[in-house]
Amino acid sequence: MPPRQPALIEGEMLEPAPGMQPPLAVETPSGARPLVPPRPARGGGAGIVGWLRLNLFGSVGNTALTLLVLGFLALILPPFIRWAVTDATIGGTARSACTGDGACWTFIRMRLPTFFYGHYPFSEWWRVDLAAVLLGVFSAPVMRDRTRHRGLWLVLLLTLFPLLAGILLAGGLPGLPPVDTNLWGGLMLDIIIAFVTVAGSLPLGILLALGRRSQLPIVRLLAVGFIELWRGVPLLTVLFMSAVLVPLFLPNGVSVDRLIRALIALVLFNAAYMAETVRGGLQGVAAGQEEAAYSVGLRWWQVQLFVVLPQALRYVVPGLVNNIVDLFKDTTLVTIVGLFDLLGAVSQALKDPAWLGFAKEGYVFSMLVFFVCCFAMSSYGRRFEKRLRRHHSG
């Protein structure tokens, strides 16, 4: 008898015991029986029931998890909905309108203008609205998927638009009475601060990123020192510096508007973060691109401006959008140094003796406003990222 092979031999393993049928004998066309009996595909099949089975009740553990989560939701959602919707009040004009146990949205409704315009005079609101429309007009071509001359539009958005909006908002021309920045406030101030910060810190950040990759030792050292200094300290200390120290650093008698001081601090601080994002993109550009550009005789700045940066900046748009979302959220910190942004407006409204005790409504509302703005921006960033990936693979 030849030695038995240790390996598994099909026929032997599946040989049914005499007089017994294998549990699931399926005849394949060739006549050989498969090793493992076939099973239906995982997943519950088509339709809602199938989806439910696949996603919620796939196994015992999964079903238990689903029930646990449903129980948790049943615990927290109804009280929340009762507070925010069912028992809430939105009508009326005074505190006395809010008698129920739910939220008092009347408070928010009455204060809405301050939350959006700050103390900007009512007769001049149209200037803020017009500036907002202009922002939309200038940024739409930059954001759209297919745009000719996107770079040109970007430059216009960062130069012409701030000029127009600045003249509109600050005034001082015939027909446009000046409005002091002390009166600017609410969400409008958050958006202004965020826009100016982006417009200032993006170019500075690009310069810093180029400096950090420079072969000139002193340039590199200065760039690294600048970037690491701002990235190492909390934003709040930087804002305090702008509020308390900048007046000390300027010659006697020279004073700078509080808003402008905060803006300078925010630009310097965020430039360091933008620089790190841009540096990531610069590293992603293949070295051959630069070599080729030099070999056709371009100078350093031409290579960077026409060859490296256009490619690098495309890669880092999602990262830059993240930076912008972060700095937009950080604009709320200016309320600590005495500027009157949305959070400042809400906090001040909460101190009004006529409307005490609506902290929950006030902060939930401001969170929602920020959520809408930031979520829209993050979604745009994600969409852009997907598009990049598609272009890359396709």
Partner 1 sequence: MVRRPSPRAYAGQWLLLLAAAAVAWYIVSNAGDNLARRNMSFGFGFLWDVSNFDIPFRLVPWSEADTYGRALLVSFLNTIAVAACGIVAATLLGLFIGIMRLSANWLVRNIALSFVEFIRNTPQLIQIVFWYFAVLQTLPSPRQSIVLPAGMLLNIRGAYLPNAVMTPHGGLLSGLALLALAATPFLWRVRVGARRVGANALFLPVLALALFAAGVDHIDWPTLKGFNIRGGTQVPPEFVALWLGLSIYAAAFIAEIVRGSIEAISKGQSEAAQALGLKTGQRLFLIILPQALRIMVPQLTSQYLNIIKSSTLGAVVAYPEVMQIFAGTVMNQAGKEIETIIIVMAIFLAINLLTSAFMNWYNRRVALVER
Query: Shortest Cβ distance from residue 318 to partner 1 (Å)?
Result: 13
Query: Shortest Cβ distance from residue 362 to partner 1 (Å)?
Result: 8
Interface segment toward partner 1; rule CB under 8 A; list 92-100, 103-111, 135-143, 212-220:
212-220
Spatial contact of 104 and 98, defined as CB atoms under 8 Å apart: yes
Query: Shortest Cβ distance from residue 221 to partner 1 (Å)?
Result: 9
| Dihedral of alpha carbons 370, 371, 372, 373, sign | positive
Note whether 378 binds partner 1 by CB under 8 A.
yes
Q: What is the DSSP letter of 243?
A: I
Residues of span 94-123 touching partner 1 by CB under 8 A? none
DSSP 126-174: HHHHHHHHHHHHHHHHHHSSS-TTHHHHHHHHHHHHHHHHHHHHH--BT
Spatial contact of 275 and 208, defined as CB atoms under 8 Å apart: yes
Note whether 355 binds partner 1 by CB under 8 A.
no
Which one-letter amino acid corresponds to residue 47? G
Note whether 229 binds partner 1 by CB under 8 A.
yes
Q: Kindly report the backbone phi and psi dihedral angles of residue 341, in degrees, each rounded to the nearest multiple of 5, phi listed first.
A: -80, -170
Is 124 or 385 the residue whose CB approaches partner 1 more closely? 385
Note whether 84 binds partner 1 by CB under 8 A.
no
Note whether 291 binds partner 1 by CB under 8 A.
yes
How far is the C-alpha of 121 from the C-alpha of 118, rounded, in Å?
9
Residue from 25, 250, 305, 356 touching partner 1 (CB under 8 A): that is 250
Q: How many residues bind partner 1 (CB under 8 A)?
A: 62
How far is the C-alpha of 51 from the C-alpha of 43, rounded, in Å?
8
Residue from 10, 50, 152, 300 touching partner 1 (CB under 8 A): that is 300
Note whether 77 binds partner 1 by CB under 8 A.
no
Is 127 or 212 the residue whose CB approaches partner 1 more closely? 212
Q: Mask 271-290, x = binds partner 1 (CB under 8 A)?
A: ----------------x--x
Spatial contact of 347 and 195, defined as CB atoms under 8 Å apart: no
Distance of CA 233 to the CA centre of its chain: 22
Note whether 42 binds partner 1 by CB under 8 A.
no
Which tokens hold the place of 156? 């216009």
Residue from 77, 99, 126, 375 touching partner 1 (CB under 8 A): that is 375
Is 5 or 295 the residue whose CB approaches partner 1 more closely? 295
Cα angle 327-329-331, degrees, rounded to a multiple of 5: 70
Distance of CA 142 to the CA centre of its chain: 17
CA dist 62 → 31, 40, 56, 65, 68 (Å):
40, 20, 6, 5, 10
Note whether 215 binds partner 1 by CB under 8 A.
yes
Using alpha carbons, select from 92, 112, 279, 282 the residue that is nearest to residue 186.
112
Q: What is the DSSP letter of 59?
A: S
Note whether 337 binds partner 1 by CB under 8 A.
no
Residue from 3, 232, 297, 394 touching partner 1 (CB under 8 A): that is 232
Residue from 88, 333, 339, 349 touching partner 1 (CB under 8 A): that is 333
Note whether 83 binds partner 1 by CB under 8 A.
no
Is 56 or 170 the residue whose CB approaches partner 1 more closely? 56
Spatial contact of 349 and 362, defined as CB atoms under 8 Å apart: yes
Binding-site ranges for partner 1 (CB under 8 A):
55-56, 58, 62, 65-66, 69-70, 73, 214-219, 222, 228-229, 231-237, 240-241, 244-245, 247-252, 287, 290-291, 294, 300, 325, 329-330, 332-333, 335-336, 343, 347, 350, 359-360, 362-364, 366-367, 370-371, 374-375, 378
